[in-house]
Amino acid sequence: MKEIFEAIKKSAIRIRYAIENDDTGYSQNQNTTGDVQLKLDIKSDLIIEEELSQIASVKELASEEKEHIEKIHEDGKYLIGYDPLDGSSLVDVNLSVGSIFGIYEDDYSGKNLKASVYVVYGPRVELVIGYDGEVQLYRLDSNDKFNFIQVINLNQKGKLNSPGGTQNCWHPHHKKLIEDIFLDGYRLRYSGGMVPDLHQILLKGGGLFSYPATSDNEKGKLRMTFEVFPFAQIFELAGGEAIDGERRLLDLTPLHIHDTTPCFFGSNEEIKKVKSAYVN
Ligand code: AFP
């Protein structure tokens, strides 16, 4: 596992360099959901593939940017699902973006997720690892070394609300939930990049990030394997919770690698509110 974390650190340094120096324009290609890929999406994907495929324990790689799973080492132990550059459409307006990794064994189900990592490319580069019972924050220094900063723990209740999805497509019970949370004094924090939005909630002690089922997309937008399960694990290890409205996210199994799910990540008090709004 340690070798995988080191390979992710190497890719993060190379991706940070590409973000700072490369063309932020579009390529001619589309990904599996029909989005036109940015040149940076393709480059980040390539960097991660190059670094992770050198690790003998990596059996397969599943990228958000590719339709099919890639076999790497037949005798490997780990299956890695990753989103190479989440929120990449924010690079051209110079907002923070991120990479997300889920390290699985046997299959890409929530219960077989063994470790999760994300990287935030912001004013500083930070890397968060959820593994072995805790969540650790590292920061990149000017010598390209990631230094341990702290263990992340959520409070019982936070102050931030990050509500995703187009509001005119929210279901009435969801609209009421979000309104009630604001009436309770929570402040709006939503950049359109789940990595910096969830990172902010984790580091500021708590709150709620939601990407619900909507009238135009009953299964939500965010993908289980690459985005949702890794953050669900990190929120649980930090003392929070992650549910799809009713069920624990890590109890879900995607039928297809690119399947999406509604998702709510938060500290305990906010998830209690979600459950009472969603469970009849
Ligand atoms: P992009 O990678 O296409 O920019 O999407 C980012 C993202 O997957 C996730 O990081 C955000 O939380 C979410 O989409 C934002 O979606 P909305 O624009 O629908 O709020």
Is the per-residue pLDDT at 28 higher than 90?
no
User: Confidence class of residue 254 from pLDDT cuts 50, 70 and 90?
Assistant: very high
- Per the DSSP assignment, residues forming a β-bridge with 126 are 120, 139
- C-alpha of residue 87 to centroid of ligand 1, in Å: 6
pLDDT above 70 coverage of the chain, percent: 99
43-82 residue pLDDT tens: 999 999 999 999 999 999 999 999 899 999 999 999 999 9
Is the per-residue pLDDT at 230 higher than 90?
yes
pLDDT in the model for residue 26: 73
pLDDT above 90 coverage of the chain, percent: 89
Is the per-residue pLDDT at 228 higher than 80?
yes
Closest CA relative to residue 82, chosen from 225, 222, 196: 225
Mapping DSSP onto H, E and C, the string for 63-115 reads ECCCCCCEECCCCCCEEEEEEEEECHHHHHHCCCEEEEEEEEECCCCHHHEEE
Each domain of the chain, given as residue ranges in start order, spans 2-151, 160-278
- How far is it, in rounded angstroms, from Cα 280 to Cα 278? 6
pLDDT in the model for residue 30: 76
Rounded to an integer, the average pLDDT of 200-217 is 96
- C-alpha of residue 248 to centroid of ligand 1, in Å: 22
- C-alpha of residue 73 to centroid of ligand 1, in Å: 32
Torsion sign (Cα): 182, 229, 97, 238? positive
- C-alpha of residue 88 to centroid of ligand 1, in Å: 9
Based on its alpha-carbon atoms, the radius of gyration of the chain, rounded to whole angstroms, reads 18
Is the per-residue pLDDT at 39 higher than 90?
no
Yes or no: domain 160-278 corresponds to CATH 3.40.190.80: yes
pLDDT in the model for residue 37: 79
Ligand 1, CB cutoff 6 Å, lining residues: 86-89, 164-165, 192-194, 221-222
Of 151 and 41, the one with more pLDDT:
151
Look-up of token digits 């110079």: 94
pLDDT in the model for residue 252: 97
- C-alpha of residue 192 to centroid of ligand 1, in Å: 5
Rounded to 10 deg, the angle between the 172-183 and 268-278 helix axes is: 150
Number of other residues whose CB lies within 10 A of the CB of residue 232: 30
The atom of ligand 1 lying closest to the CA of 86 is 2
- How far is it, in rounded angstroms, from Cα 84 to Cα 78? 18
Reported pTM:
0.95
User: Confidence class of residue 36 from pLDDT cuts 50, 70 and 90?
Assistant: confident
CATH superfamily of domain region 2-151: Fructose-1,6-Bisphosphatase, subunit A, domain 1 (3.30.540.10)
Rounded to an integer, the average pLDDT of 214-235 is 97
- How far is it, in rounded angstroms, from Cα 145 to Cα 275? 41
Rounded to an integer, the average pLDDT of 240-254 is 97
Number of other residues whose CB lies within 10 A of the CB of residue 265: 31
The atom of ligand 1 lying closest to the CA of 35 is 3
Fold matches, 2-151 and 160-278:
no
Closest CA relative to residue 11, chosen from 105, 113, 125: 125
pLDDT in the model for residue 32: 72
Is the per-residue pLDDT at 23 higher than 80?
no
Token pair of 19 as six digits: 């973000």
Per this entry, what is the length of the chain?
280
Answer whether 253's CB lies under 8 Å from 109's CB: yes
**Mean pLDDT in the chain?**
95
Candidate of 33, 92, 211, 225 to mutate for ligand 1, largest count of ligand atoms within 8 Å of Cβ:
211
Rounded to an integer, the average pLDDT of 199-214 is 97
Closest CA relative to residue 262, chosen from 274, 280, 276: 274
DSSP H helical ranges for the chain:
2-21, 39-52, 172-183, 194-203, 229-237, 268-278
